[in-house]
Structure 1
């Protein structure tokens, strides 16, 4: 185990996966025992854990913390992001979100109006999605011991059929629900002082319209993820490794807005590694891919595309470039950008 923690260890890339495995190895070793009791969790390291209920359904549980800077940005705020992130983690796990608890930590001396504005955004977003806020905690730290405002959340929901991202197989299709990297690009632009046009804004939004489609197609949806830290590059690599397959995605089919591409080029980062906070990536049985794509477009996901295929392989992800060649799509390593969620 490494001697000191680095910022990269919390960036959502391979370093995060490795340190979690090292710190929680004892708990991970118990996963098969817990699964036999209807508890699914650390063995798949998914967006939610699950506890089977007496009626056969599952309670989904997710937890997250939000430290984004700036606190308010084009298209959202730390409060809106905290609600959306929690709701979306439950939805891509196949669960209907029911309730959230929160913990808010504020730096001494922070402007009360800013705190109230962020909390109001959090409450309004949750209520707007019919998700109850049922409890929480509020603490103030001495000035300099925390930076501004931090929000931590835990969410619970009910899933008839958990989506655990471990059933991807040869022949599956990869579907993306919309343009990628918009949240990551907005936050990066704010932090590096880049000017953004009027149409540029974070994609932070709830994925609530997706849930009925996940329930409609049931076990033919083999995996679902909201590609936050590390973007679709990280999500695809985790899927390929866990399932022991090769995933090939077509660059030309991946929707990337011009302004996102512009920010990426200025900062020297791959848009496929930038965070999205209102998009989902799905791996589905090929028999439903076209029907699901039409349903997505009919339900507000107008930019949805089938972007790739799953083949037999050994855990690799390949990108078919615009000029027709293939290159390895690596998981984003190190600290590419300051924190975005």
Structure 2
């Protein structure tokens, strides 16, 4: 336990503490119309917990996460110097195709299904892979929200899939201490793509389909927010591939909720879902899930800045109009 938890936790804390001045000089996230912070903040801090995690994956002979290295590399480059959307998506698509094709879960599906059904499932899982990576990136907009959420998610992955993921939890906790509000450093694209990619990859390389489905369900608060927002933007005839700040977590913040309060809502919801799905009976889990859903609907209805008003404010922004050629 010391080797898998205490050491990576201390390494994360010490390395971030020592390198924070370097991050301040090298990689600064300057606030723009999408930002929920007001002062320039160092980013790409995900490099620390990503590096520590890979060191332990190597030590523990867990090699399938290394498939993700090209995605992580291009994300790191993007944090320092912007990379085209085509280059990022192409890299993600290629790696997703390889990861899914090599996964034990897909081989099980291939052995049990007619070939055309297996190929359709293959395409669906590749799409799911890409969706999760990018949705996690979209949700990384408030202090501690994504890092805190994935501490819970990978804690349960380390319990039900492999202790090889315990150092991920430990190094994330070290990062979270610096990332919680008021954040001293952001994880950047390298951190969010690593977490999203490792999450879906760990589920694909777990042969127990039921456990993988349960671990996918617990991330619902994190993944349904961007999905519902995408649908709402499509219905509202908005350009769905343009940057925005219309997710529920962003509209809660716009309505006056602090970074800590919004992050706590998502983190606690994920924890409740995880505890209920792994410890309670099915009907009890369904009740907890409905209560979590009602909580978010209640927040949407009575507390968040309405979607239409947030959209109007966004499109009136001079910076948004300039960046997206809306004149």
Same fold at TM > 0.5: no
Q: Which has the higher helix share?
A: 2
**The structure with more strand, counted as a fraction of residues:** 1
- TM-score, structure 2 normalization: 0.32
Q: TM-score, normalised by structure 1?
A: 0.31
